[in-house]
Amino acid sequence: MITYLIRRLGYALIMLVITSFVSFLIIDLPPGDYMDQKLAELAERGDRSAEQRIEEYRAKYGLDKPLLPRYWMWASNFVKGDFGESFQFERPVKDVLGERLQMTIVVALFATGVMWLVAIPAGVYSAVNQYSLGDQVMTTVAFIGMGMPNFLLALIILFFAVVVLDADITGLFSREFRDAPWSLAKAWDLLKHLWIPALISSITGSASLIRIMRANLLDTLGQPFVEAARARGLKNRTVIWKHAVRIAINPLVVIFGSEHIPGIINRNMLLAFILNLPTIGPVFIQALLVQDSYMAGTCLVFLVMLTLIGNLLADIALAWLDPRIRLE
Amino acid sequence: MSAKKSSSPSIPEGSEASAPSGQASEQEQEQKQLSQSYWALVWWRFKRSKAAIAGAVIVVLSYFMGALFAEFFSPYLVNQQSEYVEARPQWPHFIDEEGNFHLRPFVYGLEETIDEELFKRTFEIDKTKQYPLYFFVRAAPYKLLGVIPMDIHLFGTDPNDPEAHAYIFGTDGLGRDVLSRIIYGARLSLVLGLAGQALTLIFGATLGAISGYYGGGVDMLIMRTTEFLNAFPREPILMALAAIIPDSWNPMWIYFGLTILLAFVYWGGLARQVRGLVLSIREREFVLAAQSFGASDRRLLFRHLIPNTMSHIIVIATTMVPAMIQSETFLGFLGLGLRPPLTSWGILMNEVSNVRAIRFHPWLLLPVPFILISLLGFNLMGDGLRDAIDPYSR
Amino acid sequence: MSEMSETNNVLVEVNDLRVQFDVRDGIVKAVDGATFSVRRGQTLGVIGESGCGKSVTARAILGMVPRPGQVVGGSILYHRRIKSNGTEMTDIVNINDLNPDGETIRQIRGGEIAMIFQEPMSSLTPVYTAGTHIFEAVNLHRLMPIHKVGAQMTETIQAHREVTKEEARDIAIDMLHRVGIPKPEQRVDSYPHQLSGGQRQRVMIAIALSCHPNMLIADEPTTALDVSIEAQILDIMRELQETVDMAIMFITHDLGVIAEMAEEIVVMYMGKVVEKANAVEIFYESKHPYTRALLKSIPTIGKKRRKRLASIEGMVPDPFDLPSGCVFHPRCPEFMPGKCDQIVPSWTQVEGEEHWARCLLYEEV
């Protein structure tokens, strides 16, 4: 087990190094750099000393140096915990990300929690009552939800929220609460804003979860041990949840690790961008759009890290849940 | 998913009644069909699913109307600007204010007002003006399929009335008709989806087949590469790569660049699936053939491999096209990928990329249902194809 | 038949049971008139080809006919012995009338009538150990008596409590030992995939027996096992039956196995019971042509080498297109035209008290 872990972590480390370099490279590829934009901005404002200031910035961030030394500088600082400075915010990347980390996790936890709380019982109900009206409705809804890209659904719901309901939905807090200390009222305000991203991501996310849960459970229910369990006098509920679902849910655990853990940043990125939520997603997107190299590079590296960790956790969890699987 | 249950005798032997969609009762028909060619059989099975047919109809219609004859179906040209900027939709009516029924649908006109709060010019519906809609009207000239000069549009306002205008879905920031732009946008988006998929297919299927067929070092190399590429999150990578395409490029070059980019991002999944298919075929027919015919020409084997896997590859390809269209929409929404003066659904989405736009010009969201319907069409068709080709794959 | 029940220690009486499956192509009569009884401590063998309805019958006894099947006729009377206020009573319960997910049937399942299945490979839940399975069953069905001494020294009040974890583990180890699993203290923590096929079937027997059932239904328990393992399992079953005085309903298609195990044999064909007698009479004095044909088809060592293997002519009929009259008539060597294809034979007493058959040869028409 320990050797397996060490090997996986070693592999992950190598991947991280390579991906960090490739990410940096890709972000750097577009012609020009962030400073060109800033130059245009400043020039628009009629700032005469713009050119000189831009040159100062360039030197400060080392943008006049070629790729490799820049990457090396960034990477070697990265492992020390210094992720470079963001051009847009003119503050350390670590600070910007750190401020947003808490809300990112809150939103992710809430959205993922809702998704699973809805999808698992729905999938189980669907499988146990196959072909019932409820099952057919759920299967259709799931099918439609699966074909729908997240952000388009987001736009539709936004339309209803903004035009029909006239809700104030940008950000996660109303103006009064934004900088206020935590209180019950603030938490309630947060919930009032959280329902939209939670709703949107749970519709598309749970669609595929429901389908998979249903399919797995149908397969499992047909297996002899389910009948054998029932023949021992167990209650229907026990047979279904403690025996059938217990087996059928294992592949979903893998999904949780490989998709929902990196999804902490990845999922809802675009949605958060539109709504201007104080999470990491919008900052990441903005950084990619304007070539804020260190910010974008750092976020990308963290995303890859989350993917690798998520996969590892999923594999370990699967082995723990299913004694037939042994890690090699 | 097992097709037959092995031992639990829940239903007596001799009755194959496991399929819910009535397949059992059509078994006789199926047996009669067995003498037909493989593709005829696939088509027959495909026809049975209403959803699949519906999906296919949607797809065909979308390409017909959008990709091929967009100019005819749109009342205005794609870049035809007008003074009616950010105008509300002029929905067609049959019954007017006084309750009269008109056989010919009409729209109410627009009038310019000043919004006191926002200090903007807006265009609101003016019920005093009525413009009937005519069909097969003469309007702005165009070239059908890029060659034939025509000026007939499916519908429009009276060509003799210079004041008449009918912006069914409203207009955008430059006074362009949203409905027309949606139809034109379909052209680029749908064709890009196909082109991107075709390129992905060529690239991915070839590498996957090579990987599965030769095995060994080549296989490892290709698979490790796909694994590596898979570790990157898809959307950020799409964004980063799309940003590489310079603004200054000629739109056609941007289009090609985007196609290549999509293929680059998506080839891995396809390659892996093709590899799996090839491996499974290799286990079966290859060994037998090689043993009975002695050493076989590799090319001959590719002539066996490819036709056998072709049907599955087609299914996979069909189900991947929606992903391509989605990616383009996503990139365009952020202002990456295709840019104006081109028109694609992604570019249309860019106009609603902030909450203000949604609040004040919600009709700019009207491309969304069209995108969703075309995606749904592809998904239904793809699902139907998958069932038709391999009914046990579910 | 029911008059005999009190005196003859009947445990389960199946009377004219009918089970139907409503499928797309029509209605399949999986069980169409099954009548037999199982007595306390006795082994009843049920024999027939695949698809004859024997497994459906077994499941019907536990109220577990799978969807889309439904019991549409007949009765399954279970003679329950319960202690009520210190006195023993026999309560006759019709399984067909019970709610399939109700408390009564769940008490019966596993606790009073247990069942073991054909595929030991997949009949145990993969994520639970042998011990956990036994623990679950014991927890459900076994209560430990508490002996309290009442006011008078001779009086004992019986109360019950649930089994503790340590007790359950001891019971599990004991049961595994009794079914012949070596090193039971270690095996009790084994997962199903760590056990061999024979061991898994032993575990299933152990689980079944851990709750002291009155009857064990064994649905082709050795069909999936090697012959040598099969012999061991059959031995264990016989041993245990003697020790705990348990009835066994043994379902199989293997005549050899049934000869070893059963005292009374029931022969089924196409959902009907066609003959019922004690084992000796079935083998040496079978009455129904189907039974005779089955027996003839057993290859024997020593017969002349050139002779072809005997088989039953014809094929099992399409369940949606059953033959008229007697279902077996197209394949019957004793076919009587005009009779067997017109009249449905009824369940008749053929010889003695206990030999019954469903054949027009023995019926006055």
Locus of tokens 């399992």 = C233
pLDDT of B22 reads 45
**At the fourth CATH level, which superfamily is domain B181-388?**
MetI-like (1.10.3720.10)
Q: How many CB atoms lie within 10 A of CB B72?
A: 16
* Residue, of B95 and C231, whose pLDDT is higher: C231
Segment among B106-110, B252-256, C273-277 with least mean pLDDT: B106-110
Q: Is C323 on the interface with B (CB under 8 A)?
A: no
Q: Which residue has the higher pLDDT, C60 or B359?
A: C60
CA distance A119 to chain B (A): 20
CA distance B327 to B321: 10
A179-183, A303-307, C86-90, C141-145 — most confident range: A303-307
Does the beta carbon of B344 lie under 8 angstroms from any beta carbon of chain A? Answer: no
∠ CA C263-C266-C269, nearest 5°, is 155
Q: Where in chain B is the domain with CATH 1.10.3720.10?
A: 181-388
Residue pair C327/C269 in contact (Cβ under 8 Å)? The answer is yes
Reported as a single tens digit per residue, the pLDDT across A267-299 is: 878 888 887 888 898 899 988 888 888 888 889
How do residues B190-200 score in pLDDT, each as one tens digit?
999 999 999 99
Q: Which sign does the torsion angle of CA A25, A27, A31, A36 carry? A: negative
Instruction: Find the CB nearest C110 among A227, A232, A236.
Output: A232
What is residue C265's predicted lDDT score, i.e. its pLDDT? 94
In chain C, residues with a C-beta closer than 8 Å to the C-beta of B24 are: 23-25
- Evaluate if residue A240 carries a pLDDT over 90: yes
What is the pLDDT averaged over residues B40-58?
Answer: 84
> Is 60 exceeded by the pLDDT of residue A248?
yes
Mean pLDDT of chain A: 83
What does the mean pLDDT of chain C come to? 85
Contacting residues of B for C70, CB less than 8 Å apart: none
CA–CA gap between residue C7 and residue B132 (Å, rounded):
96
Per-residue pLDDT for B248 more than 70?
Answer: yes
**B355, A274 Cβ separation under 8 angstroms:** yes
3-state secondary structure of C51: coil
Least confident interval from A166-170, B231-235, C324-328: A166-170
Q: Percent of chain B having pLDDT more than 70?
A: 83
Q: What is the pLDDT, as a whole number, of residue C298? A: 78
Residue type, B386: R
Q: What percent of chain C has pLDDT over 90?
A: 31
Over range C311-327, report the average pLDDT. Answer: 84
pLDDT of residue C152: 47
Give the pLDDT score at A74.
Answer: 83
- pLDDT recorded at residue B305: 66
What does pTM read for this prediction? 0.81
pLDDT in tens, B323-348: 889 899 989 998 888 888 888 999 99
Q: Is C23 on the interface with B (CB under 8 A)?
A: yes
**Contacts with C, B 17-56, CB within 8 Å:** 17, 22, 24-25
* C326 neighbors C360 (Cβ within 8 angstroms): yes
* Mean pLDDT value across residues C114-124: 88
Vertex C30 angle, CA A240 and C282, to 5°: 115
Q: What pLDDT is stored for residue B245 in this prediction?
A: 82
Contact status, residue C64 vs residue C106, Cβ threshold 8 Å: no
Whether C21 sits inside 8 A of B11 (CB atoms) is yes
pLDDT at residue A45 in the model: 73
Q: What is the mean pLDDT of residues C179-205?
A: 90
**Which of A16, A151, A153, A283 has the most B C-beta neighbours within 10 Å, making it the best mutation to test the interface with B?**
A151
pLDDT, tens only, C268-312: 999 999 999 999 999 998 889 999 988 888 777 776 666 777 778
Taking residues B355-361, report their average pLDDT.
81
Confidence of residue B15 (pLDDT cuts 50, 70, 90): very low
Q: Which residue has the higher pLDDT, C333 or A45?
A: C333
pLDDT of residue A4: 85
User: Distance between alpha carbon B157 and the CA centroid of its chain, in Å?
Assistant: 30
Find the radius of gyration of the CA atoms of chain A.
24
**What is the model's pLDDT at position A202?**
80
For residue C159, is pLDDT > 90? Answer: no
pLDDT value at residue B291 = 59
pLDDT in tens, A187-216: 787 777 777 778 887 888 888 888 889 989
Residues whose CB falls within 8 Å of the CB of residue B14, separated by 6 or more in sequence, listed in order: C51, C316, C318, C319
What is the band of C133 on the pLDDT scale with cuts at 50, 70, 90? very high
| Residue B12, pLDDT score | 39
A186 or B189: which carries more pLDDT confidence? B189
Question: For residue B121, is pLDDT > 80?
Answer: no
What residue ranges define each of the domains in chain C, with the CATH number in brackets?
Answer: 122-212 (3.40.50.300)
Lowest-confidence segment of A301-315, B213-227, B277-291, C32-46 by average pLDDT: B277-291
Residue found under tokens 């059908």: B144
Token couple for C25: 């192509």
Q: Quick one: how far is CA A277 from the chain centroid?
A: 14
| pLDDT of the residue at B3 | 36
On the question of pLDDT at C157 being above 80, the answer is no
pLDDT (0 to 100) of residue B21: 43
Ordered alpha helix ranges (H), chain A: 2-28, 34-44, 50-61, 67-78, 93-128, 133-147, 150-159, 184-221, 224-231, 236-238, 246-248, 250-255, 263-266, 269-275, 280-290, 293-321
> Cβ separation of B1 and A307 shorter than 8 Å?
no
pLDDT in tens, A143-163: 877 778 878 888 888 888 777
User: Pick from B7, B14, B25: which is nearest to C119 by CB?
Assistant: B7
Nearest to B305 by CA among B209, B222, B220: B209
Most B-contacting residue of C20, C22, C23 (CB-CB within 10 A), to test interface:
C23
Q: Please give the average per-residue pLDDT across A304-324, as a whole number.
A: 88
Distance, in angstroms, between A229 CA and closest chain C CA? 8
Q: Do B14 and C316 touch (CB under 8 A)?
A: yes
Phi, psi at B355, each rounded to 5°: -65, -30
Cβ-based contacts under 8 A for chains A and C: 69
**Of all residues in chain A, what percent carry a pLDDT higher than 90?**
11
- Could you tell me which residue, A47 or C125, shows the higher pLDDT? C125
Regarding beta strands C247-252 and C215-219, do their DSSP bridges make them parallel or antiparallel, or are they unpaired? parallel
**Residue C19 pLDDT:** 94
Residues of A in contact with B50 (CB under 8 A): none
